[in-house]
Structure 1
Amino acid sequence: MHPHAHWLGVAGLTPFWGLPLLAGLGLLGIEAAQSAFLAYSAVILSFLGGIHWYASVIARPEPTQTYSAMLPSLIAWLALVLLPTGFALVVLALSFVTLLIYDFRTLSPPPGYWNLRTTLTTVAVICHGWMALI
C-alpha cells in the first residue's frame, strides 16, 4: 500500500468530524451541516464501491463482484435524495459497516490496508451517530 494512503485516508475523515463539530459549536447551521455531511458520506460510500469495480473489471473479472460494486453508489444516492436525514444517516452508517464486512470476505489487499480501513470506517460510523444527535 502506498505510504500516502494512510495520511490521505485520515485527512478524508475531516468532513466526517468537522461538520458535526461546526454545527455543534453553532458555526454552521445544522441543516447545512447535515446536508453537506450526507453528500460527503454518499460520495465516500460510492468511492469504496469503486474498489470492487477495479477488482471485478481489472484485477479478476467476476460478474457478481461487478454488480456488488454498483450497490454502494445506488444506496448512497437513495439515501441522499429519498430518505429523511436521520434515516439516511443510519442507512449510510450501516452501509459502511456492511461494506467493510463484505470487503473482508472478498478482497486481498496489501499489508496495512485492513488496519487503515477498519479505523477509517469506525471513525466515519461514530461521526454518523454524532451527526444524528445534533
Structure 2
Amino acid sequence: MQLPFVIRAMGYAGLIPFVGLALSVQFADSPNDLIALESLVAYGAVIASFLGALHWGACFRTIGQNSHNRWLDHSVWIWGIIPALVSWLAIHIYIPLALLLLAITLIVQRLIDQNTYQNYFANEETANAFLRMRTHLTVVASISLSWAGVVTLLGNY
C-alpha cells in the first residue's frame, strides 16, 4: 500500500531544508555557512518537536473512550514532550553537538515510534506504509544533521 501523494510529497519536501542546509554548511562562503548552521539546528529542532507532538494528538484522540487504552499511559504523554525539551536544549548548546543531538533524537524517535504508530492508524497496512516513509525521512534527516555536525567539528566549512 502507498500513502496518498500529498502525504508523500509533503514528507519528502520536508527533507529539502535538511539536505540544502547541510550542503550549505559544507560549501557556502562565510557568513552564509554560519547562517546555514543556525538554520539547520532550528529546523531540526522544529521537526523533532513536531514528531513528539504527534503522540499528543494520538493521546487526545482517545480521551473520553470508556475502555482502557495504552495511549492514556503517562509514558506516552511524557515521551511526547521529550523531543521538544531536547530541541530546546539543542538550540542553546555548541552547534556541532546540537546537530548530533538532534540526529540522535530523530533516530530514537523513529525507534520508539515503531511500537507506537500502530495506534495512529485504522489498519496495520497504513501504519507500515507510514513507518517506511518515516524511516526514509529519518535516515536522510539524520545523515544531513550528522554530516553538518562532523564537517563543523572538523572545521571544513
TM value normalised by structure 2:
0.78
**1:40 pairs with 2:43:** yes
Which residue among 2, 13, 16 is the counterpart of 1:11?
13
Q: C-alpha separation between the residues in 2 aligned to 1:94 and 1:78?
A: 13
Which residue among 93, 96, 118 is the counterpart of 1:86?
96
Q: C-alpha separation between the residues in 1 aligned to 2:74 and 2:37?
A: 36
TM value normalised by structure 1:
0.90
**1:67 pairs with 2:82:** no
Q: Indicate the SS of the match to 1:107.
A: helix
| Native 8 Å contact 1:55 1:61 kept in 2 | no
Q: C-alpha separation between the residues in 2 aligned to 1:23 and 1:95?
A: 21
Deviation at 1:61, TM superposition (A): 2.9
Q: Indicate the SS of the match to 2:91.
A: helix
Residue equivalent to 1:97: 107
Count of residues in Structure 1 that have an aligned counterpart in Structure 2: 133
Two-structure CA RMSD over aligned residues (Å):
1.6
Larger Rg: 2
Q: Give ranges in structure 2 of 5+ residues lacking alignment.
A: 63-70, 152-156
Which residue among 108, 111, 117 is the counterpart of 1:107?
117
Identity %: 31
